[in-house]
Every structure is written in structure tokens, then in C-alpha cells.
Structure 1
Amino acid sequence: MITRDVAAFVATARACAPDFGPATARAAFLVAPDGFARAQESASDNRYMAAASGFDPARALAQHRALHVALSRLLPTVCFAGADDTPDALFPNNVFATARADARRPEAFAPRLVVGRMRHAVRRREAARGDIRAFFRDAMGYEEVDLSTQPHPCELTGALVIDRARGLGYCGLSERCDAEGAALLHAAFGLRATLAFDLAPGEYHANVVLAVLAGRAVLACPDGFADASVATSIAGLYPHAALLGPRERQAFAGNAISLSPQSVSMSATARRALAPETGAMLDAAGFTVQGVELDAIEAAGGSLRCCVAEVF
């Protein structure tokens, strides 16, 4: 099901067992910030982006390399080259994502690469690059689901936060993903149920204000939702949850990811901004928090989770 009815979604979600697939990825990939610069198109609907004078390409490249090293300690992580004509390419999770259902289920599907349809032309160029597509098609044997040429924006795991263990999706609607795009994503990932909801004015991606961590914990920023009660309802589905305040949201604490069952990765800025009760929740959930300095990258309006494309 895909619905905007929160009560109906919650009832369905509570009945979903954590048997849809692995809760965390088996590998990840990055795209280097070659050509890193302020993309004016992207800045038009991303309030987190700094002015052009706030971009430091050399520092961003060094921090991205440190991120690669840090993530490689958690799981296999590869990095593709960027390009001068794709200044936002260091955020590949909006353009490329993978799905791999648990083979124990009769309805399971083959591993697939999903290619999203970006709102802005500067980012649609990323979807056309052949090397990432060929890597998954020819080297990994993945099927390809190409949404990039249809008209509805659907910016993959930027717009759609997925509980991989239970096959649940949380899709934030904005200029970066419309209702039709949400339906396309629901189908492409083969999800059991997806809740579509409006983001607050000025928010561009759900993954900035919501994170599902290893299928058992949630970080949610109520002020990032048009209706704050939606964030509360989502949090209530998990045994461990924290509702983040505006300071935590602004520091990208909601843009976190679990790349192993016992870890949460976020930027060092986000980690420093965590309220004591948020840190206590993560401790109680059994997570070690990894913080990586990414302030130069965050000038582009995204943080650690935006940099990571998961391989399932």
C-alpha cells in the first residue's frame, strides 16, 4: 500500500515483520567531489546551501577522502570519480540506489539498481553517466530500473527513507518528489507500505529530517514535517526514537545512517549538536556513533547520509 493516511499506515506497519531483507547494506559507494562548487539550480530549493564564497573544494576533497576511510572500516566502500559538470555528484544517493529483497520470501526479487529522476538539469546529468550503470549491470549483475526519463521528480533515498528490515517507506513530498514520483519509488523498491507526507516549507528531502537506523531506531525532526504529528507517529513505530530539535536539524543530525547493525554515522557537526537525550537513546539502542568532519561538504546543503549510496 501507498497512502497519506497515517493511521492506516501505522496499522499496516505494526503488522510487518522484520523479514523483508537485511536492515543494513552489504557495501556502499561514494562519488568524489571533483568539480565541487555551488550549483545555482540546486541552491534554488535548498536552504542549507552556503553562498559560493563558502565553498572550499580542496577541503571538501580531503574530508571526502577521510569519509571514505571511515566508512571502509564499517563495510566495503568504493568511490567513483566526479566531474566538473556535475558539482553535486558527491550526493549520489539521490540518483542511484539499490534494492535486494530477502531470498527467503517467495515474492523476493532480483537485486536491482534504481536510477532516479532529478528535478534539476544539473543533476540529471549524473543519471546519464554510464560507468556506475555498467558497474552494477556488468560487474554486479543487477537489473536496472530507470526512472530518469519519466517526467515526475523522484530523488530516491533523499526523498524516500526506507526501513529495509520491514519493507516500509517514508516519502517526503516536495519539489524534489511529487506524489506520482513517490508511487514510482514505492514500486521500484518493491516496498510493502509507503507513507507519503508533506515536508515543511523550505525542506527539500526527507532524509535531512528523518533517519531509520538499522530497523530499530528513529531520528525525526518534527519541524521538518508540514504536520509535526506525522513525525511523532513514525517515531512511535520503533522501540528507540528521538525527536530532534531545530539546532540538531540545522546541524544535520537527522541526516544519519546505520551502515552496520551496531553503528550510526553522521557528520562531526551533527554529533556535537546532539542533545543529551538523543545521545542516550542511541546508547540504549546499542549504537556506537561515528562522527566525521564534513563542514566543507555541508556547504553544499547535504551531509553524510547524502554522500552514501547503499549497496544491498
Structure 2
Amino acid sequence: MISRDPTAFFEHARALAPDFGAATARAAFLVAPDGFARAEQSADDNRYMAAAADFDPGRAGAQHRALHLALSQTLPTISFAGDADTPDALFPNNVFATVRAAGAAPRYLVGRMRHPVRQREAERADIRGFFEQVLGYEERDLSRQTHPCELTGALVIDRARGLGYAGLSERCDERGAALMHEAFGLRATLLFDLAPGEYHTNVVLAVLAGRAALVSPAGFADPAVAAAIAGFYGPRGIVLDAAEQAGFVANAIALSTYTVWMSAGAARAARPATQQALAAAGFAVVAVELDAIEAAGGSLRCCVGEVF
């Protein structure tokens, strides 16, 4: 099912059991910020990106290593080398993703990026080889068709239920969303327009271990869609304000059943009500300082590729 109708979508979703697959990843992968710099093409539609003078490669590299070390305490985490020709590669979840649905062979996906500077990332033989030759995953390559579909940047997934939330923008059109729906093997995907100026869904929405959601209505063209998503998760549908969104609070990820990861800046931006709601949902928050990395227009969730 692919729909723009939240009422029909959630009527269908409520009938689905949380048995699509594991709600959180079994491992993670990163790409080091080697050659960390402002990518001018990406800055064209990423309003969160700082000016070139505000990029600090040394600090970004140190913070990324600290993130790798911290994540490795929770689940196996590997880091691939970066490349100065692909300055946005430290956000690999837009380009590579995995799925392991119940009863299906695991596969890895390669997304179609909007900007040529990011399209180069999809050609990396080492990352493709890791998934295909080392892990034995089947490939689903979307990078050579024309419709933008920037994987788990554009598509937020409730992995427990097999539900997708696809925010449409210049980084993902309707056909691209349909291709991702099929490639991930999802049961249902809700399509909606992001607010003008928003580039990725995972800056305005996070689904946490299939049990809760962080939702920023300011990031949706129609706030009623955001309300419907939050309502689906009941008291665990946590509504963020615009300041929290700007602080990357929604760019969070659950990497275990009861732990949510976000940047230290996001944790500071989270209102007491948000912190209390996460605690009431059973989540402890782990925060890692990533202010230098956030200059590139993404935060912790953008850095983390998931291996299911």
C-alpha cells in the first residue's frame, strides 16, 4: 500500500502486527569525514549547512572517532575511509541501506542521490563489496535510474511493522518513494510533502524502535500529517517544536530497544517535556558531541548506516 491519505494509511497500519523484522539494527557502519568540507551542490537545498569558514575538519574527525567508539559499546560498528572527492560521505545512510524482513533474504540498497557530488558515493566498490561479498547480501541498486530516492534520509521506516514515511522534496519524488517502498519490501508507505526548505524526512521525524516517534510539525507541508503520525504512536508520539527541530532533536536513532542516540547539541535543545516523554517511553538518551559535523547539515542519525 502506498498512499497520501493518512486516514486510510493508519487504518491499514493498525491492523499490522509488529513482526516485519527486528526493530533495531544488529550492526552499524560509518564513513569517516576525510576531506571534510562544505559541498556547494548539497548546500543548494540544505538550509542546515554552515558557511565554509565554519567547517573544522580536525574537530569533525575527532568527534566522528568518538562517535565510532561510543557506538561500538552498544553494537558492532565499522567505519569506512572517507574521500576528499565526496565531502558528504560521512552521511552514508542516504546512499546505502539494508533490510532483513522476516522470511526474506537480506539485501542492501543503493540510493539515487540528487546531486552529482553525492552520486559518486554510490559507486564505492568497497562498501558494495562489503555487503555483497562479505555479508552475502543481495543487491538492489536504485542509483542508475533517474528518480531521486535518498534512502533513510528521505524515508523514515518503522522496521517492526514494515511502515515507511516518505517525505517528498527535491531529494525524493513520488516515483523514487515507490521504488524504495518496493526495494525495502515495505507493507505500507505514507507519502507527504515536506515543508518548503526541508530536504530530508529524518530531520523532522524519527521512529524509535517501533515504539515511539519524534515528530516536528514545522517540517511538514501539512501539519495534520505530522499529527496523524504522532497520534499513531499514542502517548509515545512526541511532538517537537521548531527550535528542537533546528537543534536536530528529530535526527535521532534507537540502536537498541531502550536507548536513543542523538547529538549533545540535540540533547541540550530537547525541552524538559521531550526529555520526560522519552523517559516515560522507556528510553535512555545517549548523547555525543557533534557540533563540528553538524556544520555539514546533518547530525547523528545521518552519520549512522544500519545493518539489519
What TM-score results when the alignment is normalised by the length of structure 2?
A: 0.99
Gaps of 5+ in 1: 103-107
Which aligned pairs between 1:124-273 and structure 2 lie closer than 5 A? 124-239=119-234, 240-273=236-269
Residue 278 (structure 1) aligns with: 274
Deviations 1:19-75 (CA, angstroms, capped at 9, x unpaired):
000000000000000011000000000000000000000000000000001111111
| Structure 1 segments (4+ residues) deviating >6 Å | none
User: In structure 1, the residue corresponding to 2:157 is in which secondary structure?
Assistant: strand
Could you tell me how far apart the structure 2 residues matched to 1:137 and 1:10 are?
Answer: 35
Could you tell me how far apart the structure 2 residues matched to 1:168 and 1:302 are?
Answer: 23
Q: One-letter code of the match for 1:290?
A: V
Deviations 1:273-310 (CA, angstroms, capped at 9, x unpaired):
11111111100111110010000000000000000000
Could you tell me how far apart the structure 2 residues matched to 1:166 and 1:232 are?
Answer: 19
Residue 52 (structure 2) aligns with: 52
Could you tell me how far apart the structure 1 residues matched to 2:182 and 2:144 are?
Answer: 16
Q: One-letter code of the match for 2:83?
A: A
Residue 105 (structure 1) aligns with: none
Could you tell me how far apart the structure 2 residues matched to 1:16 and 1:138 are?
Answer: 34
Residue 80 (structure 1) aligns with: 80
Could you tell me how far apart the structure 2 residues matched to 1:294 and 1:16 are?
Answer: 37
Q: One-letter code of the match for 1:128?
A: E
1:109 to 93, 101, 104: 104
Q: One-letter code of the match for 2:269?
A: A
The answer to whether the 8 A contact 2:229-2:237 is kept is no
User: In structure 1, the residue corresponding to 2:88 is in which secondary structure?
Assistant: coil
2:290 corresponds to 1:294 = yes
- Once the two structures are overlaid, the 10-residue window that deviates more, 69-78 or 191-200, is 69-78
Residue 65 (structure 1) aligns with: 65
Could you tell me how far apart the structure 2 residues matched to 1:282 and 1:16 are?
Answer: 24
Q: One-letter code of the match for 2:198?
A: E
Could you tell me how far apart the structure 1 residues matched to 2:233 and 2:216 are?
Answer: 15
Could you tell me how far apart the structure 1 residues matched to 2:215 and 2:193 are?
Answer: 14
Q: Note the aligned Cα RMSD (angstroms).
A: 0.5
Aligned residues: 307
What TM-score results when the alignment is normalised by the length of structure 1?
A: 0.98
The answer to whether the 8 A contact 2:215-2:239 is kept is yes
Residue 26 (structure 1) aligns with: 26
- Once the two structures are overlaid, the 10-residue window that deviates more, 237-246 or 175-184, is 237-246
Q: One-letter code of the match for 1:119?
A: R
2:303 corresponds to 1:307 = yes
User: In structure 2, the residue corresponding to 1:85 is in which secondary structure?
Assistant: coil
Could you tell me how far apart the structure 2 residues matched to 1:36 and 1:278 are?
Answer: 32
Could you tell me how far apart the structure 2 residues matched to 1:74 and 1:279 are?
Answer: 21
Could you tell me how far apart the structure 1 residues matched to 2:48 and 2:299 are?
Answer: 10
Could you tell me how far apart the structure 1 residues matched to 2:12 and 2:305 are?
Answer: 28
Could you tell me how far apart the structure 2 residues matched to 1:136 and 1:158 are?
Answer: 20
Could you tell me how far apart the structure 1 residues matched to 2:77 and 2:261 are?
Answer: 14
Could you tell me how far apart the structure 2 residues matched to 1:213 and 1:281 are?
Answer: 13
Could you tell me how far apart the structure 2 residues matched to 1:274 and 1:58 are?
Answer: 27
Could you tell me how far apart the structure 1 residues matched to 2:231 and 2:14 are?
Answer: 10
